[in-house]
Structure 1
Amino acid sequence: MVYVYPQWHTVSFTLVAKQHVHYLRKVVRVVEVDETWLDAISCAAVLGSGKRYLLHPLFYMLFNRDTARRAIRATADKLVGFEVTDTDRISDRAVEIANEADLLIVPSHWSREVMKRSGVKVPVEVVQHGVSELYERDVRLPTSSNLLLLRFLKRERNLIYVLFFLHHSGFRKGADLVFKVMERVQRKYSNVVLVVKRGNIIDPHMLQLRKLKMIEVGGWLSEEDLIDLYDTCDILLCLSRGGGFELNALEALARGLITVVPDEGPFKEYIRYCVPVKVSSWVRVFRDNPIHVGYGFEADVSDCVAKLEQIIDNINEYRARFMEQRRQVLREFSWRAVCKKLINVLKQYRVVEVR
């Protein structure tokens, strides 16, 4: 089995693929290949015919690589694509690529519905994302000096931290909605601080968010440090207008954070564990994305403000509730459980031989 995914840089697809490979190797031989290999001439000939290919993500890898696309399809015994949907429709070109695969695997029922509604005819199976065993560990004192300072300031000043992730795609991630919500919340509560986890590249929406009472945590964090960040904060605010799964919300739940999300799209996979915010409208998410061409859902700002005020006024009760349900989240969404489902799906479609 040949598993192709981004290795030359680390993105969310990389992290998910590495977990898949780890557990797949327990039942089948896996060859890991970087996506740049697809740029080689007659790339599939390197490994010969009759191979089973897993491409993660399928659309991005093959959209402008027609030579690789033809070569893989001509030599592959099985072609499986992993994909997500950032809006409620994918383009005709993406549908064409999807229908050349033998199987498509998506992380949410929302994504499956989008694929089918857009015209994908091949089987589409749902295998959610997960959290690693590290999320089962106890709270510790952060080893990062920056995170240690963040925790110290919180305790010294009796602060409540609201965490928001903004690595890219600020509009899709709902950064403008977060600003509107937090501006209103901070007028009422002087001890509520927005903590923004950002990447090395500054999203333009950061300029607006910096007008709030906020703290930035920049750069890439190890998984251990990321867990320390979750443990330092109180509430996760995730108001994305679309996406395939939104893993940060699940990770927050796995650490017992009070997690606030829209009651729509991929969040339905774990909404029963969250504080849901009603959706007020549907909007165009991207202007010129060649794959994700539809609309996304928009969280209602007033409803979100009301939910946050209720949480803040009763924060100890909410903390107890979310810590109590954390173990169930870990059981349901551990990578062990998720990849067991993945292996069963691949066996069902004879991508992995049944033993």
Structure 2
Amino acid sequence: MVQPATCNLQPSTFSDPQRPPVTIIILTWNGLEYTRRCIESIRAHTKGMAYHLLVVDNGSSDGTLEWLRAQDDIRVIANDRNLGFTRGNNQGMAATPPDHDVLLLNNDTLIIQDYWLAHLSNVAHSHPEYGIVGCTLLHANGLLQHAGTYMPADSFWGYQIGGGETYIGQYPGVREVEGITGACMYIRRDVRARIGGFDETYTSYFEDTDYCLRARQAGFKVVCTGGTQVIHYENTSARINNASWQAMWDEGREMFTRKWRTFYNQKYRRAVVWHSLVASPSGYATSSRELVIELDRCAIDVRLACIWGNDFTEPLTGDPRIDQLRARLKDSRLPQVVYHQGDSFIKNSGRYRIGYTMLETDRLPDEWVYQANQMDEVWTPTHWGAEVFCASGVRRPISVVPLGINPDYFHPGITGHKPGNRFVFLSIFEWIERKAPELLIRAYQQTFRRSDDVVLLLKIFNHDPSLDVARRIGDLIRSDGPPIVVLPNQHVAAYQVGCLYRSADCFVLPTRGEGWGMPALEAMACGLPVISTAWGGQTEFLHSGVAYPLRIRGLVPAEARAPYYRGLRWADPDFDHLCALMRHVYEHPDEARAVGMRAAAEAAARWTWSHAAAKIIERLEAIE
């Protein structure tokens, strides 16, 4: 059974004694052993506030009712038959005093943290609009089950945010979400007073999402807190009673769709055709995924078009928040964004054409400039990039539209797995000339000896079958030098990359040029001190207050296999300064950690996908 790394919340989360009392409502339909364990875990871990236990039994025949009646601290409502999840919980809410908050809790849950209920109460009363609060639900095997819910409007097939991911501390803090599951749902008393209980049109399933939507329409917010984790065994009542949960789910989905289809059809305030990639591991595709999710969350109707071929050229991502966008009509009367390399702008067929791109050199190729000047406006992520575009001859209006990081996956609380006590330098890059891998390896070996308690961890990609990277590395590494660990072409799930950062002490990348510099920003968001080049797009966020900028000796011809760079220049990182910075960070770990924590705070405050989407929406509104 999973045990989170921070098993107990801090006593500082004690509930205010002036807050409303809380009644925990549990519904049972057989499953005595689950119920017993659930209630025992409540008794063991509910500290910091008083609570009342109310159990509604839906005709149990396995001894559950008898056991419940023998418990002095439980009030029992006994039904002679199964009334269903919706009506049973409504019975409990109707029997709860109106001045109580309510926590609906499934009997197949397990409480694993002290002060969990006090924390939920604190969150609910921390903001006047936080009417419904959920928490992180985990499977017993450590996989994440729920960090909020999302309803895809094309299928009405409810989606559990984060479902199936290994839990490593993602989704921290309090986040506004579309819905939460009724397995653990804290409902403030003013919500009950305003909208009552569940809609009894539903028997089981979808009534919780329906309730969250009704609360939102009444002016409340639905939030999910990452400060509490609860284990949920899921679908237990249906399983032990040999009931068809699928039939109940299908019935609930049909009723929900009839009731809410119009609402979902009308939830968007403007639309845009987004012409890009979303399924590959490329920088454009990974950032595009985040951008369209955030735009959809902000009520922008994104019509997703593949930059190459048609809707079937790319495989599905597996995320319905993204995949549903492919099937939407690509209306050429809408503004259209081509987010890809600058020589792809010709594919823009929109009424108002926007090209969104970046490059890593001091000028753009002529073809990029020509195609950019066919757009109505051009976006690029950095002010440095905007200056390069202007200097290259782009005459169309240029807006700085930044990229970002996902603070749900990149933050200092992500679980790391350091390989022993050595000081770990980490670098993540594709083995290409622009990333200067030879420079990094030479500097590391010149700076440190084998006796130093240090290791360099290289996570590298190579997509060129003609390039023998293993041989290149073998030629560079000295047998008597400090240790180097190489992870070549090893896939790490996107949500787990933060775990890799948190397994290191410093991120280092002496790049010759970046259009944005995503790995550096991700590492900063995770609280790592970062050593990287003080030139190019990453100067947008990388400065001496939050990182260790690497000086350059000047600009040199961009000699590379990629044809884009012919006749252009990029940075020549200062080798001696790189050695000095690596030695300084190694010898001053406390200072370096403080720099990393300042970086994490700044990344969360300024450089998230929410900030990026806000800028895109600002530009779309200006167009109209």
Cα distance between partner residues in 2 of 1:276 and 1:134: 26
Higher percent of residues as helix: 1
Higher RCO by CA contacts (8 Å cutoff, separation 6 or greater): 1
Q: Is the 8 A contact 2:406 2:609 kept in 1?
A: yes
> Is residue 503 of structure 2 the alignment partner of residue 232 of structure 1?
yes
Cα distance between partner residues in 1 of 2:526 and 2:574: 26
Distance 1:140-1:16 versus aligned 2 partners, 3 A rule: closer
RMSD: 2.5
* TM-fit CA distance, 1:298: 1.3
Q: Deviations over 1:302-344 (max 9, x none)?
A: 0111111111111122113322442222111111122112211
Alignment of 1:192-341 (within 5 A): 192-199=454-461, 201=463, 204=468, 207-210=471-474, 211=477, 213-217=483-487, 218-272=489-543, 273-287=546-560, 289-293=562-566, 294-341=568-615
* TM-fit CA distance, 1:166: 2.3
| TM-score normalised by the chain length of structure 1 | 0.83
Cα distance between partner residues in 2 of 1:222 and 1:178: 26
Cα distance between partner residues in 2 of 1:38 and 1:114: 32
Give the match for residue 176 of structure 1: 438
> Is residue 269 of structure 2 the alignment partner of residue 6 of structure 1?
no
Cα distance between partner residues in 2 of 1:49 and 1:334: 30
What percentage of residue pairs aligned between the two structures are identical?
Answer: 21
> Is residue 303 of structure 2 the alignment partner of residue 31 of structure 1?
yes
| TM-score normalised by the chain length of structure 2 | 0.49
Give the match for residue 127 of structure 1: 401
Cα distance between partner residues in 2 of 1:194 and 1:290: 31
Q: Is the 8 A contact 2:411 2:526 kept in 1?
A: no
Give the match for residue 357 of structure 2: 83
Stretches of structure 1 lacking an aligned partner (at least 5 in a row): 41-45, 63-67, 143-147
Q: Is the 8 A contact 2:278 2:289 kept in 1?
A: no
Q: Is the 8 A contact 2:457 2:486 kept in 1?
A: yes
Cα distance between partner residues in 2 of 1:204 and 1:283: 26
Q: Deviations over 1:187-233 (max 9, x none)?
A: 37632211111236476555343426211234232233211100000
Cα distance between partner residues in 1 of 2:415 and 2:540: 32
Report the AA paired with residue 285 of structure 1.
A
Report the AA paired with residue 27 of structure 1.
A
* TM-fit CA distance, 1:115: 0.9
Report the AA paired with residue 592 of structure 2.
Y
Cα distance between partner residues in 2 of 1:255 and 1:127: 23
Aligned length: 324
Distance 1:305-1:137 versus aligned 2 partners, 3 A rule: closer
Give the match for residue 100 of structure 1: 374
Give the match for residue 428 of structure 2: 165
Q: Deviations over 1:101-135 (max 9, x none)?
A: 11111111121111111110011111221111324
Q: Is the 8 A contact 1:59 1:291 kept in 2?
A: no
Distance 1:224-1:289 versus aligned 2 partners, 3 A rule: closer
* TM-fit CA distance, 1:270: 1.6
Q: Is the 8 A contact 1:236 1:252 kept in 2?
A: yes
Report the AA paired with residue 309 of structure 2.
W
* TM-fit CA distance, 1:253: 0.5
Report the AA paired with residue 304 of structure 1.
L
Distance 1:184-1:138 versus aligned 2 partners, 3 A rule: closer
SS at match of 2:617: helix
* TM-fit CA distance, 1:38: 6.6
Distance 1:304-1:137 versus aligned 2 partners, 3 A rule: closer
Q: Who wins on radius of gyration, i.e. which is larger?
A: 2
Q: Is the 8 A contact 1:53 1:78 kept in 2?
A: yes
Distance 1:302-1:136 versus aligned 2 partners, 3 A rule: closer
Cα distance between partner residues in 2 of 1:206 and 1:258: 28
Cα distance between partner residues in 2 of 1:88 and 1:189: 41
Report the AA paired with residue 214 of structure 1.
I
Q: Is the 8 A contact 2:277 2:307 kept in 1?
A: yes
Distance 1:140-1:262 versus aligned 2 partners, 3 A rule: closer
Distance 1:254-1:79 versus aligned 2 partners, 3 A rule: same
Report the AA paired with residue 90 of structure 1.
L
Q: Is the 8 A contact 1:283 1:295 kept in 2?
A: yes
Distance 1:24-1:180 versus aligned 2 partners, 3 A rule: same
Distance 1:193-1:291 versus aligned 2 partners, 3 A rule: same
Give the match for residue 190 of structure 1: 452
* TM-fit CA distance, 1:301: 0.5
Distance 1:325-1:179 versus aligned 2 partners, 3 A rule: closer
Distance 1:78-1:206 versus aligned 2 partners, 3 A rule: farther
Distance 1:330-1:189 versus aligned 2 partners, 3 A rule: farther
Cα distance between partner residues in 2 of 1:297 and 1:274: 18
Cα distance between partner residues in 1 of 2:619 and 2:451: 48
